[in-house]
Chains A and B, each alone.
Chain A
Amino acid sequence: MSEFLGVLRWITVNIFGEASILIGLIVLLGLVLQGKPLADIVSGTLKGILGFLIIGAGAGIIVSALLIFQPIWTEVFGLSSMSLTNIIGQVHFTERYGSSVTIAIAGGFALNLLLARLTCFKYIYLTGHMMFWTTMIFAGVMVNSNPAISGLQLTLMLTVIMGLYWTLQPALVQPWVRKITGNDNVALGHTSASVALLGALFGQIFAANKISSEDIKVPKKLGFLRDSNVVTALTMSLLFFIGTFILQIKGTPKAAEILVQSGDLSFYIYALKQSLMFTGGIAVVLLGVRMFIGEMVPAFNGIGSRLVPGAKPALDCPILFNFAPNAVVLGFVGAFVGSLLWLTLIGRYTGYVFIPSMIVIFFHAGTAGVFGNITGGYKGALLAGFITSTVVAWGQYFCVNYFISNTIPDTALWAGDSDMFVLAPLIAALTRLLTF
């Protein structure tokens, strides 16, 4: 008997306690279910685990750059702000709660299939990387609300929340998706749904004799905006440079202390390097996510299409971008201007340093722009972008300060986005209500 308990403990520690191995097992199961050849099963499983481990490495790089970025801007506004040093942090959080997150992704997907099978909401959520981030951030919010939450409670609640969200979110925006795509074959499965809805609603302000964004000329030169690495690097460098310049003018003792960190290097060169380190960190995380999601989604798709025939796939937001490419750019422009405005205002009046995550801004504002364009033409697209920056900036402020402050604010700063911020208060309240 004690041997049996020993085996059970070994499994608990080594498989359910180690998220990367658990991911590997889920990928393995998916590949076996698809009847893949052995070589594909082995390489797929290993890539799944490898991808998951790479994410942790990238998260470390991002935080090290943010630890330099934040003090600069905090000093610019002359206030004291949150610190990223006494939190659980992404790396430790994954070690402790990664298994719950992993099981909740698989369980939530199963619930999504069940609901699609039984209800009239026939949508199968297939945006794997968003499944990962949303579940991770919601787990961060829940552990933040109740630090004593048991692994079992966390896993069960997360599973139900994710399953419901992945089923209802595509259904909520489908009326507009039908208008955008002109058919009913495909749905939007993306956390920009809240700003997309707001964009479509507020776009109606300009409904009278609207001019579609596709009928106006948007400079071709804005093509580089489509490469998120470039935009992230440019924005961070710009913000680092402005911050450095202001510190040099201020010349306070604290400013001098920050500026001395660069040693012999010019602080501008040092700041440029940090901006690119931040961008590189994000690129590393995305590489990791791509590796393990790339193994998971085809498995989910295979299982889903077999179990729920006739369901619509809910896919990533760029599937809508081709229907109104100009609206995407206009949405981004509106959000970019909005982000800089909110960065200044929120910093000035609350001391919180808003990190305008360009990946979030681009994809969310782009989606909102397409929705805003449907109801309000190019003006609607611009406004939808501005609304996106407002939701993301204030959402990040409230989420990082109140809903995820002790767990993974480091991740929420760059991966937290519209729906996550909008739902965070609800998730926090539910956790306090239902767990013990």
Chain B
Amino acid sequence: MKILTVCGLGMGSSLILKMNVESVLKQQGIQASVEHMDVSSAASANADLVITNAELVDNLRHLSCPVVIVNNYIDSKEIAQALEQAGILTRGA
């Protein structure tokens, strides 16, 4: 499974989000490769799931995979909820 975390430049905040998504997945024992990316590149990328913030979500709506929103990149609860919404985590995990 491939997950993209996206911010405007694909430099700072998406990398922080990637690290936190990885740690949430690790806690649940789920295997996935998580990559961080800028919004330009992500618009034409292949992935099973894209995680970004409310600001950028409209630029990525056209993707065929699910796109979920996380606004606070260091809040593991919010990240877990987003992953639940995408059906990657089971509810109550």
A binds B: yes
Measuring CB to CB, which residues of chain A are less than 8 angstroms from any residue of chain B?
126-130, 185-186, 190, 220, 223-224, 226-230, 283, 286, 289-290, 293-294, 297-298, 301, 313, 315-319, 321-322, 325, 328, 359, 362-363
For residue A319, which residues in chain B have a CB less than 8 angstroms away from its CB?
A: 13, 16, 73-74
Is the beta-carbon distance between B12 and A127 smaller than 8 angstroms?
A: yes
The listed residue (B15, B38, B55, B56) touching A293 by CB distance below 8 A is B15
The listed residue (A126, A185, A223, A226) touching B16 by CB distance below 8 A is A126
Q: Kindly state the separation between the CA atoms of A224 and B7 in the bound complex, as whole angstroms.
A: 13
Is the beta-carbon distance between B16 and A283 smaller than 8 angstroms?
A: no
Q: Kindly state the separation between the CA atoms of A227 and B37 in the bound complex, as whole angstroms.
A: 12
Is the beta-carbon distance between A325 and B55 smaller than 8 angstroms?
A: yes
Asked, given contacts A185-B74, A226-B39, A297-B19, whether A325 binds B13 with beta carbons under 8 Å apart, the answer is: no
13 further A-B pairs in the complex, CB-CB below 8 A; given A228-B38, A362-B8: A129-B11, A186-B74, A227-B59, A286-B11, A290-B36, A294-B18, A297-B16, A298-B15, A298-B19, A313-B16, A318-B7, A319-B73, A319-B74
Q: Kindly state the separation between the CA atoms of A127 and B16 in the bound complex, as whole angstroms.
A: 9
For residue A223, which residues in chain B have a CB less than 8 angstroms away from its CB?
A: 58-59
Is the beta-carbon distance between B16 and A290 smaller than 8 angstroms?
A: no
B66 interfacial contact with A, CB 8 Å: no
Min CB gap B76→A, angstroms: 12
For residue A317, which residues in chain B have a CB less than 8 angstroms away from its CB?
A: 12
Enumerate 27 A-B pairs (CB-CB under 8 Å) in ascending A order: A127-B12, A186-B74, A223-B59, A226-B39, A226-B56, A227-B59, A228-B38, A286-B9, A290-B11, A290-B38, A293-B11, A294-B18, A297-B15, A297-B16, A298-B15, A298-B19, A313-B16, A315-B73, A315-B74, A316-B16, A317-B12, A321-B53, A321-B55, A322-B53, A322-B54, A322-B71, A362-B8
Tell me which of B9, B12, B16 has the highest count of chain A C-beta atoms within 10 A of its own C-beta.
B12
Q: Kindly state the separation between the CA atoms of A328 and B13 in the bound complex, as whole angstroms.
A: 16
B28 interfacial contact with A, CB 8 Å: no
Min CB gap A73→B, angstroms: 26
Asked, given contacts A226-B59, A286-B38, whether A315 binds B12 with beta carbons under 8 Å apart, the answer is: yes
Is the beta-carbon distance between A325 and B54 smaller than 8 angstroms?
A: yes
Q: Kindly state the separation between the CA atoms of A94 and B29 in the bound complex, as whole angstroms.
A: 42
The listed residue (A298, A301, A315, A359) touching B13 by CB distance below 8 A is A315
B72 interfacial contact with A, CB 8 Å: yes
Closest to A127 in B: B12
Min CB gap A333→B, angstroms: 16
How many chain B residues sit at the interface, stated as a range, is 20 to 34
Is the beta-carbon distance between B9 and A228 smaller than 8 angstroms?
A: yes
Is the beta-carbon distance between B59 and A315 smaller than 8 angstroms?
A: no
Min CB gap B39→A, angstroms: 5
B40 interfacial contact with A, CB 8 Å: yes
Min CB gap B16→A, angstroms: 6
Q: Kindly state the separation between the CA atoms of A224 and B60 in the bound complex, as whole angstroms.
A: 11
Min CB gap A312→B, angstroms: 10
Is the beta-carbon distance between B15 and A283 smaller than 8 angstroms?
A: no
Tell me which of A185, A228, A230, A318 has the highest count of chain B C-beta atoms within 10 A of its own C-beta.
A318
For residue A227, which residues in chain B have a CB less than 8 angstroms away from its CB?
A: 8, 39-40, 59
For residue A289, which residues in chain B have a CB less than 8 angstroms away from its CB?
A: 11
For residue A297, which residues in chain B have a CB less than 8 angstroms away from its CB?
A: 15-16, 19
Closest to B36 in A: A294
For residue B19, which residues in chain A have a CB less than 8 angstroms away from its CB?
A: 297-298, 301
Q: Kindly state the separation between the CA atoms of A91 and B40 in the bound complex, as whole angstroms.
A: 26
Is the beta-carbon distance between B11 and A322 smaller than 8 angstroms?
A: no
Within residues 41 to 64 of chain B, which ones have a CB less than 8 A from any CB in chain A?
53-56, 58-59
Q: Kindly state the separation between the CA atoms of A239 and B7 in the bound complex, as whole angstroms.
A: 27
For residue B7, which residues in chain A have a CB less than 8 angstroms away from its CB?
A: 316, 318
Min CB gap B37→A, angstroms: 8
Interface residues as binary, B1-45 with A (CB distance below 8 Å gives 1, 0 otherwise)? 000000111111101101100000000000000001011100000
The listed residue (A224, A230, A298, A318) touching B12 by CB distance below 8 A is A318
Q: Kindly state the separation between the CA atoms of A75 and B45 in the bound complex, as whole angstroms.
A: 42
Q: Kindly state the separation between the CA atoms of A316 and B54 in the bound complex, as whole angstroms.
A: 17
Is the beta-carbon distance between B55 and A316 smaller than 8 angstroms?
A: no
Asked, given contacts A227-B40, A325-B54, whether A128 binds B59 with beta carbons under 8 Å apart, the answer is: no
Q: Kindly state the separation between the CA atoms of A289 and B19 in the bound complex, as whole angstroms.
A: 17
Tell me which of A229, A289, A359 has the highest count of chain B C-beta atoms within 10 A of its own C-beta.
A229
For residue A293, which residues in chain B have a CB less than 8 angstroms away from its CB?
A: 11, 15
Q: Kindly state the separation between the CA atoms of A358 and B11 in the bound complex, as whole angstroms.
A: 16
Closest to B74 in A: A186
Is the beta-carbon distance between B40 and A226 smaller than 8 angstroms?
A: no
Is the beta-carbon distance between A128 and B12 smaller than 8 angstroms?
A: yes
Closest to B35 in A: A294
